[in-house]
Chain A
Amino acid sequence: MRDAADTVRAPYASYRTWFDQQDAERLRAKHEEAEAFFRRTGITFNVYGEDAAQERLIPFDLVPRIISGREWKKLSRGIEQRVTAINAFLHDIYNRQEILRSGRMPRELIANNEAFLPQMIGMSPPGNVYTHIVGTDIVRTGEDDFFVLEDNARTPSGVSYMLENRETMLQMFPELFAKIKVQPVSDYPKNLRRSLAACAPPSCVGKPRVAVLTPGIYNSAYFEHSFLADQMGAQLVEGHDLRVVDGFLKMRTTRGYERIDVLYRRVDDEYLDPLSFNPDSMLGVPGIMDVYRAGNITIANAPGTGVADDKAIYSYMPELVEFYTGEKAILKNVDTWRCSEPDSLAYVLDNLADLVVKEVHGSGGYGMLVGPAASKKELEDFAVKLRVRPGNYIAQPTLSLSTVPIFVDQGLAPRHVDLRPFALVSPKGIDITPGGLTRVALKEGSLVVNSSQGGGTKDTWVLED
């Protein structure tokens, strides 16, 4: 909210004026109101490793994170460029593999990659779209310095919080939105549906039928799955509702089996088809990959997209952007040491206390080491893990993340944040909703924003400049 000279940054000026006129007691009451609203509407998530029936709220902070229209233009151009490159990369890697032939990326990185699916080789999904939905994690370190932390190209979650956070703010502080012009996010479900429908397979007749595939009510993101299905007017299905009939994917309805054209799946590749992947999976549909390869269903995101958001591939993103778009990358990459390389491993082991070390395939903040916050014992234990399986890890410097204010008992206090904007890809183009999900580390000084690790969220405003 403040810049180096400790003045309020321009995008926050109007908000700050409003905030200073508010009664702290009223804001505290509003804060409780928001929590009650979330609990009542059932906006909860389940935390793995806790009692299965435990549903928790993601803490919501009522101070919006504000981005100027100008800043957003640059950000969204950068995301669009990156998402374009990722789709081109995926098509290339599953077909001609020019990037490997050119020698810009080592072959082992693909050959030994668990997220690379041989079942996808030689096939092109409808419209050549692989990543229908991307959630790019971005952090800011200075006025114009945006870094991409991760390209979530599999099944990024969190968009329901983006929508509900805005809805909550509109209900609590309608007067604010009359004063300050904020770009709307509420079109997202409509755009998602349109974007998915535009990727329907050629064999689809009439209006494409879209369904959301969820692992079920005990999944941590079930609320989001049902929310999106509801908002899109799509069916919410589980594996046992589906069956392959006469070469098509069909769902069991009260009137018999009906065809689905586009499946927005929120289950991982591994569980998608027990005949092609994990044979024990009860979450997927036996034979769906055959329907897919025959061009009779669109699966969003396509199987095998994980190879693009793997943290080892991440380190090559600037080269990938140049290779596929012919432009310099607009968004920066965080310096990354690949521990598979002996020199890098040596550096990482020597500087462990200053680095963040992540698993190549990990997500959700599990299995990572934040060097500056770790105890001596934790550092030593992690060094052992690193030596045993160096190829499983990458390391990055800890960035001096920007902070934004949150509402605490004493008023406002700075906390570290990241931002996950959501990009929709279809043959008609790339659509990025202005804003995204801002996650905030609620503990003072903490850098971990994951909801499973005690992070919270706030509304994200992109101003109409």
Chain B
Amino acid sequence: MLGKTAGGLYWMFRNLERAENTARLIEAGFRIALTRSQDQATGWKSVATTAGAAGSFSQKYQGFESADVINYLLRDPDNASSVLSVVKSARDNARLVRTALTTEVWSAVNDNWMTMKDLLAEPVVETELPKVLDIIRQQSALVRGALHGTMLRNDIYDFARLGTFIERADNTARIIDVKYYTLLPSTSFVGSSLDNVQWETILRSVSAHRAFRWLDEDDMTATSVARFLILDRRLPRSLIFSLEQTCSNLEHLCAEYGERHSCQDHASQMVQGLKNRDIASIFEEGLHEFITGFIRDNNALGQMIEQDYKFYG
């Protein structure tokens, strides 16, 4: 396969994953706004920060008005990570690698883009927001369904999945990090039992609030939620789940090509490291320090993959 094609597949699925996660994040923010009467701006600020967009947002707007944040994250062309921007970019990448996609995957991505173009042509009013976010997630699910249902399990599939899981690990890590600090009144609250609504918001941002209830944990504490999002191997958006998937796709590539690279070693070291951790030792190290380190390692892994498989000339 061409290096460029591998890169196109990888970025196509990173973009699609990002669109979906941004929609989830907005939904969580919307819920805070609905359930808490005071201090809405803080909630929307934390949403923008988690999306990695607070800096560029502040250059354009005063304060953190809900309508502005929603507009910026959903459809602002100046925001390279807005849903509309990343869906467009996913579709451009899909055109680039079209010969590597089944007709169904291509149609799903193209449909996604056409739907978003219409759906997000005008600013979204709040009453329409839940419906719009639903459609964004549905479109994303359709692409994923087409991928799982029709693509050969070969290197093409592996590069697509690598994009998905590198992005997902990054997004979940950011959610844990930013939420944790912006929601807590002060660091002395770390580890204490907190307002249920706040934790539910975090869980909702990764669509894990129901799953958490199935676990039958006694309490929604910082420790139990953090353990769930970082170390639970059953949760498809946890850090360890994403990392193990990345590792397994890299091993498939290694087997198919008969060639081992530094990215495989780096990934399996990361998995081993995480398997050996428990939540107590993570809190001991400092959750923020741990997450910062994870994001850095995950980024480094992404760059190794780009180099080892010659995405760029």
Q: Name A's B-contacting residues (CB within 8 A).
A: 39-42, 217, 222, 226, 229-230, 235-238, 240-241, 243, 251-256
Chain A residues lying within 8 Å of B6, measured Cβ to Cβ, are 254
A255 contacts B259, CB within 8 Å? yes
Shortest C-beta distance, A341 to chain B (Å), equals 47
**Of A226, A229, A238, which is in contact with the most chain B CB atoms at under 10 Å from its CB?**
A226
Chain A residues lying within 8 Å of B98, measured Cβ to Cβ, are: 42, 226, 230, 236
User: Cβ of A251: which chain B residues have Cβ within 8 Å of it?
Assistant: 2
Q: In the complex, A113 Cα to B95 Cα: how many Å? A: 37
Contact with B313, one of A229, A230, A235, A241 (Cβ below 8 angstroms): A241
Q: How far is the CA of A254 from the CA of B162 in the complex (A)?
A: 14
- Among B92, B114, B253, B257, point to the contact of A39 (Cβ < 8 A): B114
Q: Are A255 and B2 in contact (CB under 8 A)?
A: no
A229–B1 alpha-carbon span in the complex (Å) = 13
Given contacts A40-B111, A254-B1, 4 further A-B contacts (CB under 8 A): A241-B4, A241-B313, A253-B3, A254-B3
Cβ contact of A226, chosen from B92, B99, B313, cutoff 8 A = B99
Interface residues of B (CB under 8 A from A): 1-4, 6, 92, 95-96, 98-99, 103, 106-107, 110-111, 114, 155, 159, 253, 257, 259, 309-310, 313
Residue of A nearest to B98 (CB): A226
Q: How far is the CA of A226 from the CA of B98 in the complex (A)?
A: 7
How distant is A382 from chain B, measured CB to nearest CB, in Å? 39
SS class of chain B's interface: helix, strand, loop or mixed? helix
Report yes or no: A238 in contact with B259, Cβ–Cβ below 8 A: no
Docked pose: A39 CA to B98 CA in angstroms: 15
Closest Cβ–Cβ distance, residue A287 to chain B (whole Å): 15
Partner of A255, one of B111, B114, B257, B313: B257
Contact of A217 among B92, B103, B111 (CB under 8 A): B92
CB distance from B190 to the nearest CB of A (A): 44
Residue of A nearest to B101 (CB): A230
Bound-state Cα–Cα, A365 to B4, Å? 35
Say how far A43's CB is from chain B's closest CB, in angstroms. 11
A230 closest partner in B (C-beta): B99
Q: Is the CB of B310 within 8 A of A254?
A: yes
Whether A237 lies near B103 (C-beta < 8 A) is no
**CA–CA, A39 and B106, complex, Å:** 12
A229 to B98, CA, bound (A): 10
Cα–Cα, bound, A139→B92 (Å): 38
User: In the bound complex, what is the Cα–Cα distance between A241 and B99 (angstroms)?
Assistant: 15
Option from A42, A238, A241 in Cβ contact (under 8 Å) with B95: A42
| A308 and B106 alpha carbons, distance in the complex (Å) | 39
Query: Across the interface, which residues of A come within 8 angstroms of B259, CB to CB?
Result: 255
Cross-chain contact A42 with B155 (CB below 8 angstroms): no
A214 — nearest CB in chain B belongs to which residue? B96
> Quick one: which of A40, A226, A238, A256 contacts B4, CB cutoff 8 A?
A238
Closest to B313 in A: A240
Distance, CA A3 to CA B200, complexed state (A): 77
A251 to B107: give the CA distance in the assembly, Å: 28
Known: A226-B99, A236-B99, A237-B2. A253 touches B110 (CB 8 A): no
Residues of B with C-beta under 8 A to A252? 2-4, 310, 313
CB-CB under 8 A from A255, the residues of chain B are 257, 259
Residues A241 and B2 in contact, CB atoms below 8 Å apart: yes
A-B contact pairs, 12 of them (CB 8 A): A40-B110, A41-B106, A42-B110, A217-B96, A222-B95, A229-B99, A230-B99, A235-B2, A241-B2, A252-B4, A252-B313, A254-B1
